[in-house]
Every structure is written in structure tokens, then in C-alpha cells.
Chain A
Amino acid sequence: AQSVSQHNHHVILSEAASLELGCNYSYGGTVNLFWYVQYPGQHLQLLLKYFSGDPLVKGIKGFEAEFIKSKFSFNLRKPSVQWSDTAEYFCAVNAAQGSGNTGKLIFGQGTTLQVKP
């Protein structure tokens, strides 16, 4: 069965600190990878995505992620966090089925990031 594991459940950082959130997935086939963010009181928004090509992808608000196929990982990074980055972050995997695209996303448990001003 496909699964996604996020290493950190709760992270507390001070403003300007660097961020790295770990994500590993379990699936042997072709995957599409996503990071979503849920700000307090808001709905899930896409931060960035990887479908193919350059394994280092850049998203909105200065976030980036690196896909390492050999490690089944897709870690999220940001060089300098801001108080406004306080939110819950979800890693998700979409395993492309043989019949075509599918909207089924498998999510990790989420990481709550708290940034202290």
C-alpha cells in the first residue's frame, strides 16, 4: 500500500531560521509529489509540485523541495522563515495509475510549524 511519512509533527523556529521538513513515501512506481500548506482558518493551498524533470522544484513564498528518487524523499526547505509561515504543512503523493491520471492523493500526517517573532 502507498504511504507517506512526515518526520516532524511539530516544529518551532524563530524568524530567520532555516527550515527543512522531511517527507518519505512508499511506492515503487512513477509518482507525482506535492507539498500543501494550510494556514490557520484557511483551506489547503499548493506550495509546490514535482511531476518530472529537475528534481529541485521551487514554489511560492520562497519554498523549495528536492526529489531524491533513490531515497523516496521529497523534503521541503526554506532558507529563512517568517512569522507568516506559521501553518500546517502536508506532503502528498499521487501515484499515477496505468490507465491515466488520477486525483487520488495520499497525504502524510502533517507538520505543524510555529514561527516565533
Chain B
Amino acid sequence: KAGVTQTPRYLIKTRGQQVTLSCSPISGHRSVSWYQQTPGQGLQFLFEYFSETQRNKGNFPGRFSGRQFSNSRSEMNVSTLELGDSALYLCASGPDSALSNEQFFGPGTRLTVL
């Protein structure tokens, strides 16, 4: 099975712009979660989608949003970028079964805001 894929892998934007990141989960996985990883704050949960609905949300401002499509692919959008949004954005997918809610991570998208 192919793993979680994320595009693009690297992105450079300027303050005030917006950005959209994409994630394709492992085939058959319906749960997709997004995380922000920075040296200072570590790994922080952004949100989780399941069957096209946001199921959980972390403590990030409304500039961070996401959605999930019927094929479970997910996109994350950040509007009005700030310098502090520079980070590695990780996507994870999970089978969401009664036996396992293990999360499988993708390689991430490295976002640099100038």
C-alpha cells in the first residue's frame, strides 16, 4: 500500500498571502489529521476530518481551515500568512477502526513565510 502523500513538499510564501496544502491518505483510511511541527512548540494538533466532517479541532486561529473530499483526500488552507506560520505541516491518516486508531504520517510540507 502506498503511504500518506503530501504536496507540495516545500513552499515559500510572503506575509499576507494564503496557501493550500494537500494530503492523500492511505487507501481505505477515512480519518485525516493535520499537525504543525515547529522547533519551539513541537507537534501541535490542528484538526481532524472524518467522512468529510471536521471531528476534532485544535487551538489554532480561524486562519487555519481544512476540508475533506469524498475520496478522503484532504486540504488545509492558511490565510493571511504570518511569519510564525513557518513550520512543517504533517498530515496523518488512520483506519479509525474499533481495534486501532493508529495514525500514519506523511513526509510533511515545509512552509516558509518571508
The residues of A with any CB-CB pair to B shorter than 8 Å are 32, 34, 36, 42-46, 49, 51, 90, 92, 94, 96, 100-110
Contacts and interface: CB of A to CB of B under 8 A. Distances in A.
A96 B48 CA distance: 14
Q: Which are the 7 A-B pairs with shortest beta-carbon distances? A: A107-B43, A44-B105, A101-B101, A103-B33, A103-B31, A104-B56, A103-B48
Select the residue from A36, A44, A46 with max chain B CB neighbours within 10 A: A44
A108 B101 contact: no
26 contacts: A34-B102, A42-B107, A43-B105, A43-B106, A44-B90, A44-B92, A92-B43, A101-B31, A101-B97, A101-B98, A101-B101, A102-B55, A102-B101, A103-B31, A103-B48, A103-B56, A103-B94, A103-B103, A105-B35, A105-B43, A105-B45, A107-B35, A107-B43, A107-B45, A108-B42, A110-B43
Contacts of B97: 101
Q: How large is the interface on B (under 10, 10 to 19, 20 to 34, 35 or more residues)?
A: 20 to 34
A32 B97 CA distance: 13
Contacts, number: 70
Contacts of A36: 105
Contact of A32 (B43, B48, B101): B101
Contacts of A104: 33, 45, 48, 56, 58
